[in-house]
Structure 1
Amino acid sequence: MYKTLEYLKYLYRSTNQHGVHSPFVFQWVTQAMYGKQEQDVHPVLKELKTLNDLKRKDLKALNRSLYHLYGDRCPQIILPGITAKAPEQTNRLVFIDLTKGAPPPQPEALVRILDNDTLVLIRKTGVPSFWRALTTHPEVHLTIDCYHIGYALKRKEQVKENFTIRL
């Protein structure tokens, strides 16, 4: 019952590309998330096999989003709690899986390892407290909630915005 209620709240809050005012996010949503182009499995999805059990529409939107952001390059994947220090590479992706029951990192610790181009990819269901803390953090300027998947970026050049996109 709780999951159903959370999902209904998500549907009520969510929008499509017509509710997006950021050019960066509008392009991401229209060209990647809602895109129709079939693509091979992105190298990130080959590395993070735990994402392969997502619903088909979520997996396709994620795959197209990864191609939109990284092309066919595989960014360095950081798993908080496993990676001890932030690597010097600029092409990075931080992956957090909130569905496995492991405690999420502290938002402050996570933000310290982020640079302007690092994507935080969060596998989640609903709106857990960690997601809420991340969306309200002053240094995280862009979040996109797709219910099962969340995206967060520092993007200092962008005004702070939190989007809820319906897939």
Structure 2
Amino acid sequence: MFYQVVQYIKFLLRSSNQHGVHSPFVYNLITKCFYDKSNYKDYIKIKDFIQRLKKVKLKLKVTDLGAGSQVMKQQERSVSKMAKNAGSTFKRAKLLYRITNYLKPNTILELGTSLGIATHAMSLGNPKTKITTIEGCPNISVFTKNQLEINKVENIEIITGNFNNEIKKLTSNTYDLIFFDGNHQKEATLEYFESLLQTVDNNSVWIFDDIYWSKGMTEAWETIKQHPKVTVTIDTFFWGFVFFRIEQAKEHFTIRV
């Protein structure tokens, strides 16, 4: 936690807003998506979904295949506590909604379904998109699939399994958006990054969760930024955005959201 506090102070000192951004693509993304103040009706559905999860007292036996939770160390966890501590916040879920609403991705891959808060938000943002989401814990996967079905979310396929094994089966596909939110470890993050590069096209956007989770995750983020295929990155502290647009000059932005 101390590491994250120090990194956040550094982030605040070097970050800015849309001013000084000369790339039309990035400027529009920031002003029309990140800073979009519209009160979308679907925000009510997102909030209701989160609030309902926070009231579920059911306990699930959790199998952590990644770095695990920094808050909850016990193997058996209540859904309500997971929704409060491990799931996407309402603010971040709304941002994911705006991103899929703005970029209109046809295909999305999510690593780390958890309770489906992010999955649900992305689905609402673009109901026409096809979302493939991978969850490592069988019990969470079953619970979340049921919750999404109750909410009549039909454009989502949940795969249960180890990321390393499941990713290998998906590398022949192309994904317009990939949300990395499952294993907050340096080596695993870089391995997923390299494996999934085969799925990239010019308009792909990748979002890495918790790039300041640990020193190792920050090192992974810095390595990703320097990769030859990566042209533009946006550091928002809690998420790192990666773009592969060949028409863009290589540039790294640090933006407060």
The question of a shared fold, defined as TM-score above 0.5 by the shorter chain, is answered with yes
Structure 2's unaligned 5+ residue stretches are: 44-48, 50-82, 105-124, 135-162
The 8 Å contact of residues 234 and 253 in structure 2, kept in 1 or not, is answered as yes
Kindly report structure 1 stretches of 4+ aligned residues shifted beyond 6 Å: none
**Kept in 1: contact 2:231–2:243 (CA 8 A):** yes
Unaligned runs of 5+ in 1: none
Correspondent of 2:94 among 42, 49, 60: 60
- What residue number does 1:109 align with? 195
Q: In structure 2, the residue corresponding to 1:132 is in which secondary structure?
A: helix
Percent of residue pairs bearing the same amino acid type: 32
Q: Which moved more, 1:142-151 or 1:110-119?
A: 110-119
For the residues of structure 2 that align with 1:120 and 1:153, how far apart are their CA atoms? 7
Relative to structure 1, is the Cα distance of residues 61 and 100 closer, same or farther in structure 2, using a 3 angstrom cutoff? same
Identify the residue that residue 157 of structure 1 maps to in structure 2.
Answer: 247
Whose RCO is larger (CA < 8 A, sep 6+)?
A: 1
User: Helix, strand or coil for the counterpart of 1:121?
Assistant: strand
Q: What SS does the aligned partner of 2:9 have? A: helix
CA distance in 2, matches of 1:165, 1:16: 5
Structure 1 residue 88, shift from structure 2 partner: 3.9
Using the TM superposition, give the Cα deviation of residue 136 of structure 1 relative to its aligned residue in structure 2, in angstroms: 0.8
Distance 1:87 1:111, change over 3 A: closer
Residues 1:96 and 2:180 aligned together? yes
> Per the alignment, do residues 2 and 105 of structure 1 end up closer, same or farther by CA in structure 2, a change over 3 Å counting?
closer
Q: Secondary structure at the match of 2:189?
A: coil
Name the residue aligned to 2:11: 10
Q: Give 1:162 shift.
A: 1.2
* Aligned-residue offset at 1:145: 1.2
- Following superposition of structure 1 onto structure 2, how do residues 15-94 of structure 1 map, counting pairs within 5 Å? 15-39=16-40, 40=42, 53-70=87-104, 72=126, 73-77=128-132, 81=164, 82-83=166-167, 84-89=169-174, 92-94=176-178
1:139 pairs with one of 225, 229, 237: 229
Checking the alignment, whether the CA contact within 8 Å between 1:78 and 1:92 is kept in structure 2 is no
1:129 to 214, 219, 234: 219
TM-score, with structure 2 as normaliser: 0.54
Indicate the RMSD between aligned Cα atoms, in angstroms. Answer: 2.7
Shift of 1:99: 5.8
Q: Which amino acid aligns with 2:129?
A: C
Aligned-partner Cα distance in 1 for 2:196–2:37: 33
Corresponding residue pairs, total: 158
**Distance across 1 between alignment mates of 2:180 and 2:36:** 25
Structure with the greater alpha carbon radius of gyration? 2
Question: TM-score, length-normalised on structure 1?
Answer: 0.79
